[in-house]
Structure 1
């Protein structure tokens, strides 16, 4: 089984509701970065079944994932420090199957509205944590704390579920 990672990082909240009117490709860098709600779900280690291609989330964070703030500890250098870190781009968002159902990039891609707890909607950066959507308090640890053979024991369903399904 291989692993997949994707970065997470938020930015200042733009005053307009650009996500309702702009395509992923038309967004500015600031708008793009602000779509990230800071949940950290995409920064969990994922295992792919080599036979079926099915992706399974674990409760293990990337080595750079801060389990309290749910952000990358070295966002600017993440791809140098973690070579298999997936950089989200509009093209990547259109092809990656494992983005959480709560992910704003996925929602905008699919023409769906953002959830009320998304910081762009709520106006509060901690609303993702308050809503129980983030990985805060749910990580078993970071990848360096586990042997590769322990990863399958850490498979969980919640990262791929909506909050009311958990």
Structure 2
């Protein structure tokens, strides 16, 4: 069952949902609006190999006047907020306003497992050049109650504190 915005705020006050920093003005009807963090990684347009870490990644601190993203590239960004819950699963989405600019985030990995309370890495792609700024509203997170035994997330991305590249190589077969 999807939590309403008012229930997200209640569960945050009770400590069952973590959102830091929390701003009451970002509570929406059925979600909480999150902002783009200050760091971005331009993954370039070179070939990737799932069995190897991405090389030549350079973290970029997004300047206050923004950064111009280009099409045909993968960018990894981060949420400004640390988000998650030991009781609920969360799902991250882009906002309609950002999608209408031709910016897609979290197209293939929107699910946040119970127990993952982290600064989320965002997959970002653009259809045309678009300028994004740090701390701008970029997405929303919805929280879902889970049915059955809750197993806390302890995977490759547990305890992430910044933009994190694919860790598929950590368990890739030879």
TM-score by length of 1: 0.30
Higher strand share: 2
Higher radius of gyration, 1 or 2: 2
Higher helix share: 1
TM-score by length of 2: 0.29
